[in-house]
Structure 1
Amino acid sequence: METTKSMFLSLLVSFIFISCCYVSSVKAALSFDFYAASCPNAELMIRNTVSRASSNDPSVPGKLLRLVFHDCFVEGCDASLMLQGNNTEQSDPANRSVGGFSVIESAKRLLEIFCPGTVSCADIVALAARDAVEIAGGPRIQIPTGRRDGMVSIASNVRPNIIDTSFTMDEMVKLFSNKGLSLLDLVILSGAHTIGSAHCNTFRSRFQQDSNGTLKLVDQTIDTNYADELMRQCPVTAQPSVTVNNDPETSMLFDNQYYRNLLAHKVLFPSDSVLLSNINTKKMVEDFANDQQLFYVNWGAAFVKLTSVGVKTDEEGEIRRSCTATNV
C-alpha cells in the first residue's frame, strides 16, 4: 500500500511540474493581488455574501460550485452564463436547473456601491465558488483574479462543451483535454459531487420503466440497496422539481466521502461510475478515498486550473455594471 501510494505521489509531483507551464501561462495576466489597490475588500465582501446566503439556504454552496463549472466550460470563465435573454446559455435545458445566480448578483450590487466598475462578474463567480467550498467544510485556497466579463452567450455553445451525466470515460477525457485539464483534474473535480443535488431525470437512464409502470434497475454498476433508495425518492410519478443529494452520506459537507461512495457504488451518475473502469483513475479514487488531505491539496491545484480556463484579461471583454447584461 505504501509503495503504491508513494508511486502515485511521485506521479503527482511530475504532473504538477508538467502542468505548471499551462497554468502559469494563463496566470500571467491574472494575479493574487489584482484588487489590492482598486477594491481591497472585494474578496471579503464576496465571502460575506456567500456566507449569509448559505446560512439562509444550505444548498447554496453546491449551486455555486455547479455554476462555476457550467460557466467555465462554455466560453471560458467569463460569466457568460450570467447573461440573460433569448438564446443565451441560460436558456439551454442543461442550464435551466443551475442555481446561485442571485448570490452572484447580490455580491455584484454590493461591489458596485463601494467599487463601481471595478470587479468583474467572472471573478465574482470564481471567488464565490471558492468560498462555497470552504463554507461547506472544504479547504481554504487562494485563486488569482483579473478576469474580465465576456460579451457572448449562445445556447448552442452549451451542449458541445459540458459533461453529460451519461458520458463515457473517453468522452470526458476528450472534453477535459480540450479545456487544458488532465485525467487527474477529471478525478479531482468530479469530487465536487460531494455536495449539491441533482434532479431525478439526470440519472433516470440507470432505470427502466416496466409494463406495470414501475422502475426497474438496469445499470449493474450501482449498489442495489442504493438503487432501491433512489427509486423510492424518484418514482415514476415524481415531479420534475424533485432532487436527490449527490452524496447520500454527508450531503452538506465538502469532504472525500464522494470517493468512498464511488468505491461502494453509491453515486448518482454513470459518468461518476466510469471512473472505476480505468485502472489509473480507479487508483486515484482509492487514494483520495483513503486520504482526505491528499484530496484537499489536489483540489486547490485543480480548482485554480478550472477557474483559469479561457479567461479574458486586459483588453478582452469588459467589466459589466450588471451581471445579467452587457454594458450598453
Structure 2
Amino acid sequence: MAKTEFSVYKTFSQCKLFKLLLFVIIFIAFLPPFSSSLSFNFYAISCPAAEMMVKNTVRSASDLDPTIPGKLLRLLFHDCFVEGCDASVLLQGNGTEKSDPANKSLGGFTVIDSAKRLLEIFCPETVSCADILALAARDAVEFAGGPSIQIPTGRRDGRISLAANVRPNIIDTSFTLDEMAKVFSAKGLSMDDLITLSGAHTIGAAHCSAFSDRFKLDANGNLTFIDSSLDRQYASQLIKKCPNGATDDSITVRNDPSTPFLFDNQYYKILLEHKGLFQSDSALLNDERTKNRVLEFANNQDSFFESWRVSFLKLSSIGVKTDDQGEIRKSCSSINT
C-alpha cells in the first residue's frame, strides 16, 4: 500500500473509531442508571413516552376538575414526608398510611391509578407509582399556572406503609415555626424550603377542622376567642362557613379565596393581610426569620417561582428508593405478590 493511501486509510479508520466511540457514549448516556441516583433520562429507552402519558392524564383530569392540581400536590407532600417519595401513601389496607385520619381527606388517587393503567398497557412493569406521583404533582403545578420544572426519575415503590409513621412526620396546621422547621430539617429541607413549599397553599382547600382552633364559640354561638394573628373580618367569614367548628367534615374552605385554582404568589399576599387560613401559615409572617422572604415572594412572583423550582426538586427527591430497593408495582394500591 502506498504511503499516501495508508495515510488516507488511517485517517478514515480513526474517523470511524471516533464515530463509534461517540455512539457508545451517547447510547450509555441514555441507558437507565445503575447507580443509586435518579436520572433525567431514566425512561428514555424503556418507556420514552412515560412523562407525556402522565402529563396527558393529569391534563384531562384537571380540565374536568380544577381541584385536581391541589389534591395531587398535597398527595405528594404526604407521600414524601413519610417513608420518602416511594408511593407508600397509595397503598390500601388496614393500618396503612392511607388509613390514618390525617390522610382521610387526601385526593387525586384516581388520577395516579389512571396513569398507571395506561403505562401498564404500553410499558408493563416499567414505570413506578412513585415516579408517576412525582411527575403528576409537577405537571399539576404547571397546569395551574405555576412554573415548568424538569425532575429526574428512577424512583422505586416502597413495600412499607404504616399509619403509625404518619403523625410523627407530617406538618400539622397548628404547628409553630420551630415545630415545622424541625420536621423539614429531618427531611433535609431548609427554612427557605419551608417558606417556599408553604406556597403550595395557593391552591387547594381545607376542612373546617384544620383551622377551627383559631376561633371559639360558646354554646349560644357567640364568639369568645379569635387568634390575634387572624384578621377579624376574615375570621367572621370563616365562622359563617364553619358554624359547627371542627365537627362538620362536609364543608371545605379554599386556601386562597381570590385565585383558588391558580398557582401564583397570592398566598403570600394573603399572609400580609393576616388572612392565612392555618396557624402554620400565619407563623411565617410573625417571625423575623421568615418574614422578609414572605415579603419578597408577595412582591415578586418570579422570585417565588424560581425558588419553587429548587425546593420542589428537593421535595420530590426525599428518601427515594432506587436500584434494588423497593419494587415496580403492577398496581399502585397494592404491593406485588
Q: What TM-score do the two structures reach when normalised by structure 2?
A: 0.88
Q: Does 1:273 align with 2:282?
A: yes
Structure 2 residue aligned with 1:292: 301
- For residues 242-321 of structure 1, the aligned pairs below 5 Å read 242-321=251-330
| 8 Å contact from structure 2 (residues 92, 334) kept in 1 | yes
Structure 1 residue aligned with 2:210: 202
SS at match of 2:154: coil
Match of 1:51 among 34, 59, 65: 59
Per the TM alignment, residue 122 of structure 1 is displaced from its structure 2 partner at its CA by: 0.2
Structure 2 residue aligned with 1:117: 125
Structure 2 residue aligned with 1:177: 185
Q: Does 1:223 align with 2:231?
A: yes
Structure 2 CA distance for aligned equivalents of residues 263 and 309 of structure 1: 30
Structure 1 CA distance for aligned equivalents of residues 110 and 224 of structure 2: 38
Structure 2 CA distance for aligned equivalents of residues 209 and 187 of structure 1: 31
Match of 1:129 among 119, 137, 153: 137
| 8 Å contact from structure 1 (residues 214, 236) kept in 2 | no
| 8 Å contact from structure 2 (residues 86, 321) kept in 1 | yes
Per the TM alignment, residue 58 of structure 1 is displaced from its structure 2 partner at its CA by: 0.7
Provide, for residues 95-144 of structure 1, a one-character-per-residue CA deviation record: whole Å limited to 9, x for no partner. Answer: 01000001000000000000000000000010000000000000111001
Greater displacement, 204-213 / 109-118: 204-213
Provide, for residues 210-246 of structure 1, a one-character-per-residue CA deviation record: whole Å limited to 9, x for no partner. Answer: 1313454420101111111111111117731210000
- 2:117 alignment partner AA: R
Structure 2 residue aligned with 1:32: 40
- 2:286 alignment partner AA: S
Structure 2 CA distance for aligned equivalents of residues 161 and 32 of structure 1: 28
Structure 2 residue aligned with 1:66: 74
- 1:180 alignment partner AA: G
| 8 Å contact from structure 2 (residues 254, 260) kept in 1 | yes
Structure 1 CA distance for aligned equivalents of residues 251 and 226 of structure 2: 21
Structure 1 CA distance for aligned equivalents of residues 320 and 163 of structure 2: 19
Q: Does 1:103 align with 2:115?
A: no
Match of 2:332 among 318, 323, 328: 323
- 2:200 alignment partner AA: A
Per the TM alignment, residue 278 of structure 1 is displaced from its structure 2 partner at its CA by: 1.8
Structure 2 CA distance for aligned equivalents of residues 215 and 42 of structure 1: 53
> Share of identical aligned residues, percent?
65
- 1:252 alignment partner AA: F
SS at match of 1:304: helix
Unaligned runs of 5+ in 2: 1-34
Structure 1 CA distance for aligned equivalents of residues 321 and 61 of structure 2: 28
Structure 1 residue aligned with 2:159: 151
Q: How many residues are paired up?
A: 302
Per the TM alignment, residue 279 of structure 1 is displaced from its structure 2 partner at its CA by: 1.0
Structure 2 CA distance for aligned equivalents of residues 62 and 122 of structure 1: 18
Moved over 3 A (4+): 213-217
- 1:286 alignment partner AA: L
CA radius of gyration, larger in: 2
- 1:98 alignment partner AA: L
- 1:233 alignment partner AA: K
Per the TM alignment, residue 33 of structure 1 is displaced from its structure 2 partner at its CA by: 0.6
Provide, for residues 178-201 of structure 1, a one-character-per-residue CA deviation record: whole Å limited to 9, x for no partner. Answer: 000000000000000000000011
| 8 Å contact from structure 2 (residues 81, 187) kept in 1 | yes
Structure 1 CA distance for aligned equivalents of residues 196 and 36 of structure 2: 24
Indicate how the Cα distance of structure 1 residues 271 and 64 shifts in structure 2: closer, same or farther if over 3 A, else same. same
Structure 2 CA distance for aligned equivalents of residues 191 and 322 of structure 1: 31
